[in-house]
Structures are given as C-alpha cells and as structure tokens.
Structure 1
C-alpha cells in the first residue's frame, strides 16, 4: 500500500516531465517545419514522401501528448483509490515511527522503544519551534516498549497548551557510554484518514501522521465476555428458574 502511494507520486512526476519535454519538442518541430516550407527552393521543393514522413512524425508526437494526459488522469484516479484503501484501516490499532502529537486535556502521550537495557535514557519534549520545554529521565530504561505521558509542566519555557503540537526526543546510552538504538513511537486507534499532497494521512489518537510512517497494524481489541465484570453472573441470574416465575 505504502509502496503503491510512492509509485503513484513518482509516476505523476515522470509523466508531467515527459509531457513538458514532448510539448517543447512539438513546438520546435513545428517551427523547423514551417521554416523549411518558407525557405525551400521553388525549383526543388521538398520531396512529397519526405514531407509526408515529417507530418507522420508530428502526428505521432501529438498522439503521445494526448496519451500522457490520459495517463496523468489515470494516475490521479488511482491516487483517490489510495484514500479508499487507507480508509479500511480505520478502527485498527496502529504503531507508527512518529514523534509529533497534539496536547489534549493537559497532557501529551507517546511511546518509546529501547533496543537493549540502557544505562541512561533522557527524554526531551520540544515545542513547535524546536525549543526544549521539558527534559528528564525516561520512566523505564529496560529493553522494549514503554509509554510516556507529559503533564504539560515545563522545566524551561512555557507550560504546554492544549491544541499545540509537541515532539518527543529520546537519547539513550549503554553501560560503555555508547549510543543505544532507540526510537519514539505513536500508538493508538486509527480514527480518520485524509489526503495531503497525494499521500494518505491517518489520525491516530491526537496525532496526524503519514501512512508511510506506520510500522505495525493490529485488529482493534474488544473485551471478551470473560473480561466484562458481572456479565456472566448477570446472565446466569436471569436464567435461574426461580427468577423465571418471580
């Protein structure tokens, strides 16, 4: 799906470039042909077979221009289909390599992943201008996936504001002081899809991120009957013979 979106965008660019080149060649061809007719020797005019061949070439270039226009229209239609395909992801749980999200209800939430146990791991929250407004130790330095919620309280600068976009950055080191593989992730249920510059973008929690940033998808998890407190006991009570005749 992501590869198809990238291929569609690249194809549109190549078709547009090819159309421009053909149009330029077409204009040049007409100029040369007109000059040839104007300056030909009346006593030795252009051979009819040669002139016919030139007209055929001109018609071929014109046909190629029309073909390119049709291909461009086809690619545009396929781009719209990409939105329809991306819409099938709505309701699924997504994990994306994406670090920007909006603050809502006084908090912003991310996930981060460590490739191994870290000796030190520092988190930084940056505002829309790239300024660090909060920094501190990661809540867990163990290998694996962890969640982090910022309460909007700044350690420098202004406190976070609802509706503003903030970015999380992580720096982790191993026991030897070397850089440790780590990444910031956005996780949540996909609730919407929109197109921007020919690419589908997904709404995941309070973040809007490109489909190309998604690295994992799962079916939305629904509580089972066993996980719903009191459901089985209520059902058993309703089927109790003594209750049927009360």
Structure 2
C-alpha cells in the first residue's frame, strides 16, 4: 500500500461531514490498511524487503487524523450543550413582559395598544389598522407631538361593528406642517406565552403576535417584589 493511496483514505475520512462519520470512516479504513499491510508483508520478496519507514509514517498519519476527529467530537458536544442552554434561556422568557419593535398587536378584551416615537411634531398623521389579511378595518387622522406616545384601538371597524379578537397591524403615516414625512417607530408590549423553535431562529409568541428575538428592546420580570 503506497503513501498516495493512504492519503486518499485519509482525505475521504476527513471530508465525510461530522466527527461521528469521520470516526467510523477512519476505523474502517484503518482495518483495510492493516489487512493490506499483512497481505503485502506475507507476499514480499525476501530479497527486496519492504520499506518499513513508509508504514511507520502511515501509522503516524492515522494517529494524527484520529486525534483531530476526537477534537471535532468534543467541539460538537460543546456546541450541543451550548445550544441546549440557549434553548433553556429562551424558554425562560415565558411569563415575562417584553417590549419589541413591531407594528402588530393583539386585540383582546376590546383593546389593542401600540407605543410609538416621533422624531418631530406631526400635525397631519393618519393611523391605519389592518387585519391579518391586510384589510383596512380602521383609520383615524390625528395631530401628534414629538416624542413617545401610545395609541389604543377599541376594535371598532369601518362598518361600525366590533372586530374579532386577534392580531392587527398599525401604520402611522406622520407628516409635519410642511407635508414632510416624520420618522416614526412603533413598539408593542406584552407577556410572552410561548416559544416556537420550528424555524431557523426561535420566535416568541405574545398573545398570538410573533416576535423575533432580535426585535426585543426590553424584558421585565412579572414576579412580585
């Protein structure tokens, strides 16, 4: 068995994917190596004995790859433990009050609430609320002052009836006295009642409103002091 053939064996083991599959590959290839070595030793020409240095070097290479695989296994174990701890930390959000950037809020018990922040006064502001299908259910024109504020909707829709409970989104089209757009940021606040791990990133649920972890700006405990 030549050094070049062993290099192919080692390359195949190191490119198979995970530490577990690599370990299985190197074990299988090492068995093949020993079988070939035994066969060649039995069939060698006594007048031209094989170069043992070549096989010694090959054994050293196997040992090196095995140590690398063990290191990869340890790293994978560490990643799994860290991931588990991260999931536990995310689950700990349940029952806590969070504030997050977003335009969606839950209409419940006759009220849906949004907080907003205006960079400057907005004399001509139009509030538009849409249901989950994007249908406009409420509009209102207001004059808002710069700074932080909140907007509450009682669920009354354009038809004069009461909208069903559920998730609704708000759009605040704010303009100053000259008709220029005013920067507006909206946030929602609520108690986390669930976590969804089905996607690539965990998503919190607040009364049916889905909130990404990256959108959270504040977390408060609801424990009694």
Normalised TM-score (structure 1): 0.57
Larger Rg: 2
Give the equivalent residue in structure 2 for 1:213: 215
Offset at residue 117 of structure 1 (A) = 0.8
* Alpha-carbon contact 1:101-1:207 (below 8 Å) kept: yes
Give the equivalent residue in structure 2 for 1:70: 74
CA 78–136 in structure 1, closer or farther in 2 if over 3 Å, else same: same
Quote the RMSD (CA, aligned, Å): 4.4
Give the equivalent residue in structure 1 for 2:183: 181
- Unaligned 5+ segments in structure 2 are 1-14
Equivalent residue pairs, number: 198
* Alpha-carbon contact 1:100-1:167 (below 8 Å) kept: yes
Asked if 1:194 corresponds to 2:195, the answer is yes
Q: Structure 2 residue aligned with 1:49, among 34, 50, 53?
A: 53
Three-state SS of the structure 1 residue aligned to 2:178 is coil
User: How big is each residue's C-alpha offset from its partner over 1:5-58, in whole Å with a ceiling of 9 and x where there is no partner?
Assistant: xxxxxxxxxxxxx9728868x969x5xx97xx69x9x77898443344344434
* Alpha-carbon contact 2:120-2:145 (below 8 Å) kept: yes
CA 105–21 in structure 1, closer or farther in 2 if over 3 Å, else same: same
* Alpha-carbon contact 1:83-1:194 (below 8 Å) kept: no
- Unaligned 5+ segments in structure 1 are 1-17, 224-246
CA distance in 1, matches of 2:184, 2:85: 35
Give the equivalent residue in structure 1 for 2:158: 155
* Alpha-carbon contact 1:123-1:136 (below 8 Å) kept: yes
Normalised TM-score (structure 2): 0.61
